[in-house]
Structure formats: C-alpha cells, structure tokens
Amino acid sequence: MILDQFKLEGKVAVVTGAGRGIGKAYAEALAEAGADVALVDVIPMDETAAQIQALGRKTMTITADLSQGETAAPVIVKEVVERLGGIDVLVNNAGIIRREPFADHSAKNWNDVISINLSAPFFLSQAVVRQMIEQGRGGKIIHVASMLSFQGGILVPGYAAAKGGIRSLTMLMANELAKHGICVNAIAPGYIATENTRPIRENPDRNKAILDRIPAGRWGETQDLMGPVVFLASAASDYMNGHVIAVDGGWLAR
C-alpha cells in the first residue's frame, strides 16, 4: 500500500525550533506518522512534548543555544543517540528574522541571523550526518528555506542571504551525501501565520498587498506544512534529493 511508504515507525527525528509555530507542527506531524521526536529550542517545549506523548511516541527536550552551533551540535547529537537510540531524520527549522533597511542593517542583526539561520543548520547537519553514516542506514535531512530563497525581499538582508544559502547548501549536501543513502531537501514556506510574520499581518497595507498576490487568497497555516515534512522524512521521497519544495499557496507562480 502506498500509504505505508509514509509511515515513520521505528524512526527517530530531531526538530529544531520545536517550541511553537512551524517547528511545533513539524514535530507533531512526524510523531503522528510514527516517529519518536527530539525537540530542540531555547523556549519551553512542554506543550509540544505533551502532544507527542499523547500520541504514544517517545520524546525528549533539549534546551540549546543554536547560535553556538559548532559546540552545541555534537552535544545535541550525543544526547539524542543516548536517549532515543539514533537519528534518522533532522529538520533544521529554527530561525530568526531582523527587519532593518540595508543601509542601516547592524552587524549584530546580520551576525545573529546568519548564525541561527545558516551556520546552525550547517553544524547540526554535519554532526547528524556523521551519526547517520556510522549507523549505515541512510537518513533524511530537511532544511527550512523561504520565499526569499528565490526572491530578494526587502528590509531583511541577513535573512535573505541565509535562506539563499540554505537553498545552495541543500543542493551541495544532496550531491555529496546521496552515496550514503542520505536525502537532503528543503521546504520553503510561503507566508504563514506565525509570530515571525505578525508585524506584517498587522500592517494593513502590507497584509493586503501579500494577500492580493497569493492565488489561494489566504495566509498559510502551520498545518499546511505537516504533509510535506512527513513526505520528505519518509520512504515516499527516497528518490528525491536536492530540491526545495515551495508551500506557498501559489505565491511563486504569480
């Protein structure tokens, strides 16, 4: 049965930024598909963990500062392997955004965004890949890209640069890691109703301009991303590698 290809029983997933919003939805989706899920964030993850446990899946929470990715990544991997037995899926979801005009964009804003949105996925993926290769059973790595992986945007130079980098990193990793049975793809959410996008939604002019361009005529919801993450984490996507899937209500088609 084709639906069996989407099942994740016996798999262990790691999801960063799992305390709320899109990351919470990713973690819950993977658990619903059968995976045990390790949650990583700097904010409380109790609600996410409780919902995963209610599904009968194992979970654990790791409070980690991903801006310290080079030192944090090995610790995260070690804890997950010790408590859940291995790692089969990594979802690099954690991200921040800083809005400031290009000419005035501070070094701090630039460095903060690059460290979380680009450097952290690199270092955590690197540590997880070493574990996956040692396990010898392949794996799935899912980065979280953006509409700004394809477009420039405004007022967010660090974010745009990081998400453009994520797209290229996804392709490079796919090229190098396919021989190990590791598939690397990315999800590019469109305009999703989360805390990060609240300032835009509360600006009547920006909100209208965005909605007028989305063929679906609405902001996305975190639930809209649950199916794609399960697909990319499962055997159903075993011959898919190096792609960025846009989940955007048709935004890029305009």
Residues that are catalytic: 159
Exposure string for 148-166, b = 16+ CB within 10 A, e = fewer: bbbeeeeebbbbbbbbbbb
Burial of 215 (0-12, 13-18, 19+ CB in 10 A): exposed
C-beta of residue 84 within 8 angstroms of C-beta of residue 62: no
DSSP 8-state symbol, 116: I
Alpha-carbon gap, residue 216 to 18, rounded angstroms: 27
d(CA 144, CA 189): 8
Question: For tokens 């990793």, what's the residue?
Answer: 173
| Cα–Cα distance for residue pair 141/150, rounded to 1 Å | 20
The token pair that represents 251 in the structure block: 């935004």
Pairing of strands 182-189, 139-144: parallel
From the list 125, 147, 27, the residue with the least C-alpha distance to 77 is: 125
Q: Phi/psi class of residue 74: alpha, beta or left (left: φ > 0; alpha: ψ in -120 to 50)?
A: alpha
- Two tokens at 110? 């630039």
Q: What is the distance of C-alpha 124 from the center of its chain?
A: 12
